[in-house]
Amino acid sequence: MARLAHGSQNEGRQRVLDFITMYINDNSVPPTIREIQAGAKISSTSMVSYYLKDLEKANMLDRYKRRSRGVVINDPGRVVARDMVSVPLVGVITCGAGPVPTPDADALRSADDRIQIARSLVKDTDDLFALIASGDSMIDALIHDGDIIIMKKETDVKNGELAAVFLTEKNESTLKRVYKEGKRLKLKPENPTLKPFYVDARFAQIQGRVMCVIRRA
């Protein structure tokens, strides 16, 4: 589904666009202005008209003003709102030779930036967050610089799973394949030019497990 730039005015327009899309999908007809006002939680019908005019100017919909249900979305290949999941974009995580600082995964609860992904990409939508990959240590796992990594907040993973690991002594996080070896963790890059490194398990915290990767455009 098309997204608008961040901002309170654009958020209102996006609510209108999302509601129209969902309503058409559920009812096979467009909503009236009063239905849009109620469903998108807009303060007045005049404000709905204002948002509709802006969306029309942006060529995101057409309006037939003499019809009570005269709204047509200009995106026939859209994914409807109920099939989408909103995931907080927390920050950047290294996939390079060494770790770099990244926000704590708990920031997902107050993140301002969010991305929309298809619900079909993830089986469990609870506690998801997104990170932008930086570096090339995970290229054999098909994770490249600039890709968006969808993570599930976890405190433990199975051997060989891809995970974000917080290194407490360095106050840094890194994305690697994790193996438990006694009292230490082996953190393995997915790049034949780079070697695994080991950390004391007492000073390493699993932040999340990789669920899927959205390729850089």
Q: 């990170």: which residue's tokens? A: 131
Exactly one of 134, 137, 152, 173 is catalytic; which is it?
Answer: 137
Instruction: Establish whether 137 is a catalytic residue.
Output: yes
Exactly one of 134, 173, 176, 188 is catalytic; which is it?
Answer: 176
Neighbours of 19 (CB within 10 A): 21
DSSP string, 130-197: EEEEESSTTGGGT--TT-EEEEEE-S---TT-EEEEEETTTTEEEEEEEEEETTEEEEE-S-TTS--E
Cβ-proximal residues to 185 (8 Å cutoff; 6+ apart), any chain: 165, 178, 179, 198, 199, 201, 204
Chain centroid offset of residue 146 CA: 14
Active site residues: 137, 176
